[in-house]
Amino acid sequence: MKFIKGIIIGLLFISSQLKGQDSYFSQFYALPIYLSPSLAGSTEQTRFVSIYRNQWANLPNAYVTYAFSFDHYIRNYKSGIGAMVIRNQEGGLYNNTSIGLSYNYTIKINEQLNIRPGIFAATNINNIDYSEIEFADQMTRNSSTTIEVLDKEQIQYYDFSVSALAYTPKYWFGVTGDHLMTLNKQVAFDNIYPPLKMVFYGGAKFKLFENVRSQVDRYFSLSVLYKTQAGFHQFDLGTNFEREPYRIGLWLRGSPGINESFNINALVLLVGTTYKDFLINYSYDITLSRLLSATGGAHEVSLSYRFDFRGINNKRKRMAALPCPSF
């Protein structure tokens, strides 16, 4: 069993080194700080978020991600602050933990347009549990130890990202530059640091049936996301419909045709509900690629708790907050 685990973690580790890609969340607005530091405090409330993602569900512990975040909007200083912890577990043997803080400031251009520059700084810890791996030489020599020259079991490094977000009551557009340490020539060729990642996202959100007298709000939103990292390009395009307290979503994920053929490789279905100050969402990635269809897709669950300890009226908060989908 340990030898099989070693093969699995080896493949996962080699894959991560070759591709150099970060963790991905289908519910990317559910973990706003991870998408963009500019989204900290985007609801203008205090918010706690937890999210769980099981990638390749048919492979036990192949790639599991846990994330927790906190963000808050300081109205008097027009600032959003946040903290986030993400832990990736690959094959149950190779782990990565990231802990970071974010800050942004809102610049009011006019009655409609606002700009939010943001920054995020993090410390990252990579570790691998060699005790759970049985190497080939151990089997041939019938030994409990290996003669392989192993890398360090734990490596720590620092990183940061910057972002900018422009939004009106109905539209938003943002850009994030992540892993900016790689711009330093001294660390550019150090494979400890992930490669530079650029993320572009935006969308529009509309309130439906505004002329109808109803206590139930209905929203329809369209969103798009594009990211590029280490020669890999990906886009997401989707729509959400929200009718309090429920929401549903449909998303397409694929390759945009840059340096590769255009294709759709996954369909994402989302359902969610709100109970008082709690929002819970579940999404399932249906893999359309023949190569990965046997992996069982991906399950993702997010839970957030939002509140305003000052008791500001909900309607006022919604008008001031960003129009992003309620994940």
The residue extents of the domains of the chain are 2-320
Name the band, by pLDDT with cuts 50, 70 and 90, for residue 3: very low
- Percent of the chain scoring above 90 in pLDDT: 51
Query: What was the pLDDT predicted at 141?
Result: 63
pLDDT score of 30 more than 60: yes
pLDDT score of 293 more than 70: no
pLDDT score of 268 more than 50: yes
pLDDT averaged over the chain?
82
User: Tell me, which fold does domain 2-320 have in CATH?
Assistant: Porin (2.40.160)
pLDDT score of 103 more than 60: yes
Q: By the 8 A CB rule, do 25 and 53 touch?
A: yes
> Of the given ranges (80-89, 101-110, 171-180, 212-221), which has the lowest mean pLDDT?
212-221
Name the band, by pLDDT with cuts 50, 70 and 90, for residue 279: very high
Name the band, by pLDDT with cuts 50, 70 and 90, for residue 151: low
> Of the given ranges (123-132, 249-258, 285-294), which has the lowest mean pLDDT?
285-294
Query: What was the pLDDT predicted at 109?
Result: 95
* Pairing of β 46-55 and β 278-287: unpaired
326 vs 177: which has the higher pLDDT: 177
> Of the given ranges (11-15, 189-193, 296-300), which has the lowest mean pLDDT?
11-15
pLDDT score of 305 more than 90: yes
Mean pLDDT of the 52-75 span: 87
Name the band, by pLDDT with cuts 50, 70 and 90, for residue 175: very high
pLDDT score of 93 more than 80: no
pLDDT score of 169 more than 60: yes
Residue 327 to residues 28, 190, 262, 279, Cα–Cα distance (Å): 8, 36, 28, 7
> Of the given ranges (118-127, 256-265, 309-318), which has the lowest mean pLDDT?
309-318
Alpha-carbon torsion angle 269, 274, 279, 283, nearest 10: -10
Query: What was the pLDDT predicted at 313?
Result: 47
Q: By the 8 A CB rule, do 20 and 99 touch?
A: no
Rounded Cα distance, 91 and 4, in Å: 10
Query: What was the pLDDT predicted at 5?
Result: 47
44 vs 46: which has the higher pLDDT: 46
- Percent of the chain scoring above 70 in pLDDT: 76
